Amino acid sequence: MKFDPSPTAIWKKYERDRDYKRSIGLYDRVRRNEAFYLGRQWEGLRVQSLDPLIFNVLRRCVNLFVAMLVSDDVAVRAQPFDMDEDGRQTAHVLERAFASAIERSGVKALGRPLLKNACVDGDACFYMHFDPALETGQAVKGDIAVELIDSTNICFGNAACDEVQRQPYIIIAMRRDADEVRREARENGLSADEIEAIRPDDSGEYHRYRTSADGERVTLLLHMRRTENGIAFCKTTRNAVVMPEKVLPYRLYPVTHLCWNRVRGSCHGESPLTEAIPNQIAINKLYSMYVQCIKQVAFPKIVYDMTRFPNGWSNDVGKAIGMRGNPNDAIAAAFRAPDISAQVLQLLKQMMTDTAELMGASEAALGTVNPDNTSAIIAVQNATAAPLELTKMEFYRFTEDWARVFLDLMGAHYGVRTLVLPNEDGGEPEKCTFDFSALAGQDMRLQVDVGAASYWSETMQTMTNDHLLESGVISDPLVYLENVPDYQVRGKHDLLHALRVQQQQQKEANNNAENHSESQS
């Protein structure tokens, strides 16, 4: 089917995806989950007989899940399949380039809001692009930028599939200032009439919460599709073209997608909050009624004969109370209502505990257990974290996906750049010029290491080296030091150089001693 690049055709695709999202209740579900996570759990209800109390079990569970999964320790190692001298040089260059791009793009810090969005909404996305204006510290400007995309703003061409690279097309919806979009259209060489057609519009379901400045914004659609020569991009609004279609030599869509719980036959995931919201509502209602009942019956009430006290009863300190007849015959007594059943509070605690545990957050994981038996608590924490292993593996897969996109963008945009590589012999760092365009179309052996709990950890590597040194398996200090991560030993390369010089001097001294003894004999 031939592609129609007109704004009307692209907008129809966008509207078709919005209809699909409405049919599965995505917009309402995301809005409700976000409100309950933020604590707006009585929003829209007019409660007069109760004090609306909130005991937010859901937010604590979500924060626990994000803390257990997120990691700021992300390292990427890319190696060519042919590891000759040039291959090793390429591997060192890519390791430095990845470290610089990851740090400059802030992709590790974006992992926290991404996991929170995926947990609350069901899924979330990264969109990566090359920003030519970013400073790199070199004469060549430009580097990779990463944006977090909500699940409500990503449109997949095949809504029944959640695999990004199998999509026929992808649309990303963005709300931008109308003046900013006009400026971009002017930079792309569009005519004045086309620029004039860019006007503010309604956000629809785009924003969960409308802002006062939303009236000056316009919905910008970024459309991308796969072609024989790469990925084709174009930007449109409802009635105007902002960027005509252009093809970039990418092999992959610059989009990565993370689902918290996969749903068969849908590109959107399911949030653990959705099924727990009725429990949260019941907890809030029961707690509010419990407190209201305590306020009404906890304090004793005075019961008196109104015929004997014509002026009524007064609780003012020291104030005389007038009555008719003999004061000794006055009828006034304190009345106390029966205590509220203790089962109510027990039920509340049980509901809160069961809700958290069914979501995957036990008391041991939340830290509410007295540490009487440390081994047992650790075992319970490990058992609690087991259900999150599937989500953790999904997050590792997601991290590897964006690393491959980074490599794809480097080959397409970096060109010739200068990098500083450490000298293996411990000398001064060397400047290396590398042409990244040579990476285009190459297959790399990519290993992505995430966090201290993954299959590779720098801290665990150091501890293992220490044990091997203590047990005598490693006797050469050079071998030990080469396996220690650079940041853990300051001046590591200078120390390696000094050890190599020392070993060489020791070897020469031993050879001289052997030659001297042979000459004497």
Which among 55, 39, 64 is positioned nearest to 119, based on CA atoms?
A: 64
Helices and strands (H, E) in the chain, number of each type: 15, 14
Residue 201 buriedness (CB in 10 A; 0-12 / 13-18 / 19+): middle
Locate 306 and state its tokens. 């109104």
How far is the C-alpha of 415 from the C-alpha of 434, rounded, in Å? 8
User: Facing residues of 270 across strands?
Assistant: 261
DSSP 179-225: HHHHHHHHHTT--HHHHHT------TTS-SS--GGGGGEEEEEEEEE
State pLDDT tens for residues 122-175.
999 999 999 988 887 777 888 999 999 999 999 999 999 999 999 999 999 999
* Contact status, residue 356 vs residue 366, Cβ threshold 8 Å: yes
The half-sphere exposure of 246 on its side-chain side, counting CA atoms within 13 A, is: 7
Cα 301 to Cα 278, 328, 339: the distances in Å are: 37, 21, 14
Locate 518 and state its tokens. 């042979």
State pLDDT tens for residues 242-282.
999 999 999 999 999 999 999 999 999 999 999 999 999 99
List of residues 6+ apart from 228 with CB closer than 8 A: none
List of residues 6+ apart from 120 with CB closer than 8 A: 30, 33, 34, 37, 62, 271, 273
Which among 228, 259, 256 is positioned nearest to 144, based on CA atoms?
A: 256
Stretches where the chain sits below pLDDT 70 are: 1, 71-73, 82-84, 203-215, 318, 320, 325-337, 362-386, 422-429, 441-443, 449-460, 485-488, 491-493, 516-521
- The predicted pLDDT at position 498 comes to 78
User: Facing residues of 236 across strands?
Assistant: 221, 241
State pLDDT tens for residues 342-381.
888 888 888 888 888 888 776 655 555 555 554 554 555 5
